[in-house]
Each structure stands twice: as C-alpha cells, then as structure tokens.
Amino acid sequence: MTAPIIAAFLWLATVKAADRPRSLLDQNAAALSPLRAEVRDAIPTHVIPMREHKLAPSTTNLALQRRANFPARLKNIYDVYYSIDLVVGNQTIPVSVDTGSSDTWMVQEPYECVSFWWDEAGKETCGLGSGFKGNLSGGIIPNLPPFVRSYVDGTFVSGVYGREDVSIGGITAHSQRLALVNYTYWHGDGQTSGLLGLAYPYLTSLDGPDQNQPPYDPVFTTMWKSGAIDPVFSIALSRHEDQGNNNNTGADPGTSSKQESYLALGGLPPVDVDETTWARTEIHGMRAIPQWGFETDERGMYIVKPDAFVLQRGGNGTDAGEELVRNTTQVPVLVDVGATLSYLPKGLVNQIYAAFDPPAKYISTGGLFYARCNATVPRFGVQFGNSTFYITSEDLLRQTARDPTGEWCRIGVTDTDTPPHVLGVSFLTNVVAVFDVGKSEMRFAARKRY
Ligand SMILES: *[C@@H]1O[C@H](CO)[C@@H](O)[C@H](O)[C@H]1NC(C)=O
Ligand SMILES: *[C@@H]1O[C@H](CO)[C@@H](O)[C@H](O)[C@H]1NC(C)=O
Ligand SMILES: *[C@@H]1O[C@H](CO)[C@@H](O)[C@H](O)[C@H]1NC(C)=O
Ligand SMILES: *[C@@H]1O[C@H](CO)[C@@H](O)[C@H](O)[C@H]1NC(C)=O
Ligand SMILES: *[C@@H]1O[C@H](CO)[C@@H](O)[C@H](O)[C@H]1NC(C)=O
Ligand SMILES: *[C@@H]1O[C@H](CO)[C@@H](O)[C@H](O)[C@H]1NC(C)=O
Ligand SMILES: *[C@@H]1O[C@H](CO)[C@@H](O)[C@H](O)[C@H]1NC(C)=O
Ligand SMILES: *[C@@H]1O[C@H](CO)[C@@H](O)[C@H](O)[C@H]1NC(C)=O
C-alpha cells in the first residue's frame, strides 16, 4: 500500500467546463425479472407518499417502517461535477458530491489558496465559493493530526477537524466530524466551497505517513447509524444542465422535472426508470483492486465488477446492432460521480474507438480520443446481471466537447491500464444508481428517455 494511490478519486477538474455531454436514452428492455419486485419492495420509491410507506406491511425489511427518502437536488455544473447544499450549523455551503472519497470539508474564511502560474483565473480563491465563517459549534477536535488530502487531479486541501451538525435535504448528521480547510490548491469555478464524500469510513483511515489513523464516520454513515435513514443512497444525474430554478432545498418531488439531478438519502430519486431493467451487483472490498496492495476485504469505495462489456455496431444499416465485442472478463470498476468520463481497459476502449465510423483518433491538443462529430456511433453497454446499460450516443460522442477545429468531438469513454477503472458521469447519466451499503450491493436501472 502506498500513499499516492489513495489520493481520493475525485476527478472533477480533469475535464474543463466546456466538456458537456448531451444525449437521449435509448435503452433495451430486458425481460421482466423477479429482481424487479424485490428491489421495489426493499426500497420504497419516492413517488409514493411517505405516509403510505409507514403503513405498508413490513415483511422482510425494516425499511418499510422507516421514513422514505429525502431527495436533495443536485446541481449540474456543466456536467463536469454535481453540487449540493450542505447546511453546516446555520450556514449553507454548496459542495461538490463525490462517491470516490469519504471526507466532508469546506474552506473556512479566511483561507490561503496556493496558485500556480498556469492557473491565473483562480489566483485568489482557487475558484472556491465563499467558505464557512466563524467557529464550529462543536469546536475543533483536539489532539488529531491535521486534515490533509490530495486528489488524483493534483489538487490538495489541508486544515483541521471539528464538529458541527450537517444537514442535507432535511436529514441531519448531528455533531458530525468534518474538516475546515485553510490551505489548498484547487480549481473550482466559484460555485462550490468544499466536498461531500459519500464513500465508506475506511478511506478516512488512510491518512498520515502510515495511512492508519482510526477511521471516523462520514456524513452519510452518521445519518444511517442514527436511524434517520436506511443505509442506502441513490443518485440520478441529468446530463442536461438545470434550467434556472435550482434551489437545492431538498424533497420536492411534486415539481421534479426530468432534467433534474438528485441525491436521495435512504431511498430512490424521483425520476422515471425502466422498471424491467433493475439489476444488482456486489460491492467489493479494497483488495478487489490488486494494484492498490490492500489486504483487506473492508469496503472503502464503490467497487463493482460488471458481468460484461458489450459493443455493437451503430448506424441504421442492415448490420446495425451486430455484436462486435462481448467481453465477460470481470474487471473491478469504481462507480464515481466525481469522474466526468469513464475509464476502462485499453484493449476494450480501443475496440470502441475502432467501432466509430469513421474511427476515432487521438488528438494530442485535446489529450484524448475524438471522433468526427458526425461519425456513426457504436452502441456500448455495461452489463450487470441480466441488464445491459447502454451509454447513449450523445454521452459516447459528446457534441459539446470539441477540438479547436470544431469537427472532432470527444469520446465519453477513455482508456487506462492503470487502475482504477471508473464508471463516471458519462455512464451514470444513463441510470439510477443505488448505493446500498446495508446490503453491500449496488443496483442500477435504466433511465427513461429524458
Ligand atoms: C436472469 O435471466 C435468467 C434467465 O431468464 C433467470 O433465470 C435469472 O433469474 C435472471 N437473473 C436475474 C438476476 O434476474
Ligand atoms: C449562527 O450560529 C452562530 C453560533 O451558533 C451565532 O452566533 C449566529 O448568530 C447564528 N447566525 C444566524 C444567522 O442565525
Ligand atoms: C472563534 O474561536 C476563537 C478561539 O478559539 C476566538 O478567539 C474567536 O473569537 C472565535 N470567533 C468567533 C467568530 O466566535
Ligand atoms: C491553518 O490552520 C492551522 C491550524 O490552526 C495553522 O497551524 C496554520 O497556520 C493555518 N494555515 C494558514 C495558511 O492559515
Ligand atoms: C430559492 O429559494 C429561496 C428561498 O426559498 C428563494 O428566495 C429564491 O428566490 C429561490 N431561488 C430560485 C432561483 O428559485
Ligand atoms: C437513422 O434513422 C433515423 C430514424 O430512424 C434517422 O432520423 C437518422 O437520420 C438515420 N441516420 C442515418 C445516418 O441514416
Ligand atoms: C477482455 O478484457 C480483458 C480485460 O480488459 C482483456 O485482457 C481481454 O483481452 C479482453 N478479451 C477480448 C477477447 O478482447
Ligand atoms: C462529416 O463532416 C465532415 C466535416 O467535418 C464532412 O467532410 C463529411 O462529409 C461529413 N460526413 C457526413 C456523412 O455527413
């Protein structure tokens, strides 16, 4: 185990704001499976009024007797990252949401931003919004080493740990341990002031020279351990930016539009899914990614193993839909809302590039693969259980992320042979993703067209 590996897996700054996917969902309808009923019983959907949940007969799961979920609106920041309002004490602090890290932090005024010469724009503030002011009601936690984190995109934060009540969409983590940052290199765009880390407690222990600090409970863990919610959250990301009225004020399913993005604590977000496509897969422990060198089965991040990657010929010709690749090699993959693109094995991604017509090519100025914006796009999907979740053509070939000539568009999947592989926003905009920490499994269902 080495220190740099566990830079948390927040990739939000690796792609600039111009990188905006747009697309429609084109989902196959898998056969109706018994899983469907099971999933729906286990987790009440938000669209059913809360009172009915409380009255629902409970057979197998305590969930039915508890409160339903509390979807808080996520704000889509150029499709690059998603933010949410945290209420910290009595201050509202917008933060980015990350499922690849576990700490929750925000800058405290005044703070110092390290600026690098190539980053003129963020000189004063590192692109952070206004931070927490004054002192935490729970004070600074004495006798702890400082909070220091670095992220895979080269950014870092440092500060101290303190305690405060933290609320999201009306659910409160009381006396939550969080970090106040006073020294950072960051490149935000002025809209958020920190980060909400939704991964497991284990990651919080990977601190200090030996990366073996006692772990602490992150915000989501505190919430479910207190019984305020069930140990599950789910995420629905919209690939479109919200139009105006985006208030992050929490549960308001009655007025939900299909283009909103949600974090639902304790249940499902209020978006339409193809109910026949529900599939589940185990969340694996840290040792699932051998290159990280962890010996533990402890869960840290949302590591899953897709049952297959499926590539089909695109276009309208007679051979459209022909299966080009079905690779059932089990590869561990992080589900990470903090990553814009999806990062998959090189061999596979090369097959995807070649399946564009005309084929994609590497553009050095963009540092990634691009295809002609009018190319025929193959169908690429990730299979879990009996369902294949396709990345729609506009997420696979992102019309709004163009090279300087304007003729080449960026591919939404990129290759890496250095773990971790990642299913990022370009995948997640096509599904509802349920992070069921209680059952140590993830579930997915295909979004209806939006
Ligand atoms: C997948 O499909 C097979 C064959 O139709 C069925 O036996 C099995 O139960 C299904 N699995 C799930 C998880 O739905
Ligand atoms: C917020 O809380 C602090 C300390 O608890 C208090 O001094 C301050 O007046 C409060 N501000 C508002 C706007 O309620
Ligand atoms: C915060 O606490 C410090 C000492 O811990 C104190 O000097 C300072 O006045 C406090 N600030 C506010 C705004 O309460
Ligand atoms: C940040 O806070 C720590 C702990 O209070 C302090 O030692 C350090 O000098 C501060 N750094 C800056 C840049 O303000
Ligand atoms: C957000 O909500 C606040 C208070 O509920 C309201 O004053 C404000 O106008 C709203 N903003 C938008 C953009 O709807
Ligand atoms: C494919 O068919 C759709 C309608 O089915 C049409 O809108 C589209 O233009 C066709 N594309 C090509 C490349 O022929
Ligand atoms: C399937 O994927 C694995 C892992 O990426 C790779 O090693 C293997 O070569 C692939 N198989 C085929 C037939 O492409
Ligand atoms: C695609 O766009 C290129 C210019 O970028 C053009 O030369 C080519 O003819 C177009 N192909 C089709 C099929 O429209």
CA of 356 to the centre of ligand 6 (A): 16
Q: Does 32 map to a domain?
A: no
The pLDDT value recorded for residue 271 is 86
Q: What is the pLDDT of residue 277?
A: 96
Could you tell me if the CB of 372 is within 6 A of ligand 8?
yes
The last residue of a domain, from among 192, 213, 228: 228
More confident residue, 60 or 426: 426
Domain that holds residue 12: 7-20+50-228
Predicted confidence (pLDDT) at residue 278 exceeds the cutoff of 90: yes
Ligand 2 atom index nearest CA of 135: 4
What is this structure's pTM? Answer: 0.81
447 versus 271: which is more confidently predicted? 447
Tell me, yes or no, whether 359 and 442 share the same domain. Answer: yes
Confidence of residue 91 (pLDDT cuts 50, 70, 90): very high
Closest ligand by atom to 88 CA: 2
**Interval between CA 402 and ligand 8 midpoint (Å):** 15
Spatial contact of 419 and 385, defined as CB atoms under 8 Å apart:
no
Domain harbouring 313, CATH code: 2.40.70.10
Collapsed DSSP state (helix, strand, coil) of residue 431: strand
| Cβ(245) – ligand 5 distance below 6 Å | yes
- Structure confidence by residue, pLDDT tens digits, 281-299: 999 999 999 888 888 999 9
336 and 212 in one domain? no
Please state the domain count of the chain: 2
Q: What is the pLDDT of residue 61?
A: 25
Ligand 5 atom having least distance to the Cα of 244: 13
Task: Please report the pLDDT score of residue 2 as a whole number.
Answer: 28
- State the Cα–Cα distance between residues 272 and 335, nearest whole angstrom: 21
User: How many other β-carbons are positioned within 10 Å of the β-carbon of residue 234?
Assistant: 27
434 and 331 both lie in a single domain: yes
Rounded Cα distance, 259 and 160, in Å: 37
CB 247 near ligand 5, within 6 Å: yes
Tell me, yes or no, whether 279 and 414 share the same domain: yes
Beta carbon of 135 within 6 Å of any ligand 3 atom? yes
Q: For residue 215, is pLDDT > 60?
A: yes
Determine the 3-state secondary structure of 315 from DSSP. Answer: coil
Last residue of a domain, one of 170, 199, 228: 228
% of the chain exceeding 70 in pLDDT: 74
Average pLDDT, the chain: 78
| Residue 58, pLDDT above cutoff 50 | no
Q: Distance between CA 306 and CA 330 in Å, rounded?
A: 6
pLDDT of residue 117: 54
What is the pLDDT, as a whole number, of residue 284? 98
Of 228, 255, 284, the last residue of a domain is 228
Same domain, 200 and 333: no
Average pLDDT over residues 359-363: 92
| Percent of the chain clearing pLDDT 90 (strictly above) | 51
Q: Is the pLDDT of residue 95 over 50?
A: yes
Answer whether residue 104 is part of any domain: yes
